[in-house]
Amino acid sequence: MNEPRKIDVLAVGGVDVDLVLKVPELPSFDEKVMGELVGRLPGGTVANFACAASRLGLKVASFANIGDDQKGQAIIEDFQRYSVDTSLIQVVEGHESPFVVILIDPTGESAMVVVKTIDDKYPLDVAANIFSQTRMLYMMPNPRDQFLALAQLAHEHGTEVMVDIESTSVDDRSQLERILKQTDIANFNQDGFKAATGQEPSFEAMRTLLDLGPHTVIVTRGKAGPLTVTANEEAEQAGFEVPVVDTTGAGDTFNAAFLRGTLRGEPLAKRLRFASAAAALSVMALGPRGHLPTPEEVEVFLEERNAN
């Protein structure tokens, strides 16, 4: 009998420190606006996911590269605050850690400038050793060759793969097909789905992607709420009305909560509702990890909505 795997999710890459600024409006070309410093906060799409997943009760490890600077130390300390395993993080000497400049307007919408300072290269021998103890690999599909190598290796060790596909992730249909061939759960935001497929999100359009590899396809649509399909099910969840302070990291929280339900074997509609509620709670505070909810907080939120 196989022993249970020790790590629920291996979160690869996607770490940085966010320079977060509040602005009266997002500037257009050749426009100057005055900003207010919120802080220099550990962030990154995959890192936010990792912290949210750990907060929701999953056992999470980060496999990432950081610089030997204060930002890198801040990244590690914040992971430890959220009980994310940092033993696989590699410190690259003589390099600055990645950072992102985030501008947030009064509606909570944001714009970002991503500054890559370290190559996303991860030793496959180390990954092979950890995959045998891991249930799920989570990462962005860039750089593509790195993703494909890690995803293939994960599948060889019985580890499933969840990927978050944004509008900048794929350039053409052939690239999308290569990514999805190595993917079990594919999440798109609305712009990412349109860029990758040339279609508006719909159950019919999403089902065509199941033939390429994944068993689950999700599209998040902001306030309109998410859609998801599998071979035998489909589900839609209306967005929850909440006061929005900052949308940064909402999609990462959604993915973490959806994966929690998946690993627990919950019905599709229940997973979608729980994940939508977790994302709604996350936008009610400032910063990429301003409020990562616990399972209990999500359940209370849903009970209150059911009562009204």
pLDDT tens per residue across span 198-227: 999 999 999 999 999 999 999 999 889 999
User: How far is Cα 265 from Cα 21, in angstroms, rounded to an integer?
Assistant: 40
Mean pLDDT of the region 266-280: 97
Mean pLDDT of the region 170-198: 92
pTM, entire model = 0.90
Q: 3-state SS string over the chain?
A: CCCCCCEEEEEECCCEEEEEEECCCCCCCCCCCCCEEEEEEEECHHHHHHHHHHHCCCCEEEECEEECCHHHHHHHHHHHHCCCECCCCEEECCCCCCEEEEEECCCCCEEEEEECCCCCCCCHHHHHHHHCCEEEEEECCCCHHHHHHHHHHHHHCCCEEEEEECCCCCCCHHHHHHHHHCCCEEEEEHHHHHHHHCCCCCHHHHHHHHCCCCCEEEEECHHHCCEEEECCCEEECCCCCCCCCCCCCHHHHHHHHHHHHHHCCCCHHHHHHHHHHHHHHHCCCCCCCCCCCCHHHHHHHHHHHHHC
Quick one: pLDDT at residue 15? 94
pLDDT tens per residue across span 72-112: 999 999 999 999 999 999 999 999 999 989 898 998 888 88
pLDDT tens per residue across span 18-76: 888 999 999 888 899 999 998 898 989 999 999 999 999 999 999 999 999 999 999 99
The yes-or-no verdict on residue 9 having pLDDT over 90 is yes
Mean residue pLDDT across the chain? 93
The yes-or-no verdict on residue 152 having pLDDT over 70 is yes
Quick one: pLDDT at residue 281? 96
CATH top-level class of 7-25+36-307: alpha beta
Quick one: pLDDT at residue 108? 81
The yes-or-no verdict on residue 121 having pLDDT over 90 is no
Quick one: pLDDT at residue 308? 56
Show me where the domains of the chain are located. 7-25+36-307
The yes-or-no verdict on residue 245 having pLDDT over 90 is no
Contacts of 58 (CB under 8 A, 6+ apart): 8, 9, 256, 259, 260, 263
Quick one: pLDDT at residue 2? 64
The yes-or-no verdict on residue 141 having pLDDT over 50 is yes
In the structure, what pLDDT confidence band is assigned to residue 160 with cuts at 50, 70 and 90? Answer: very high
Quick one: pLDDT at residue 4? 85
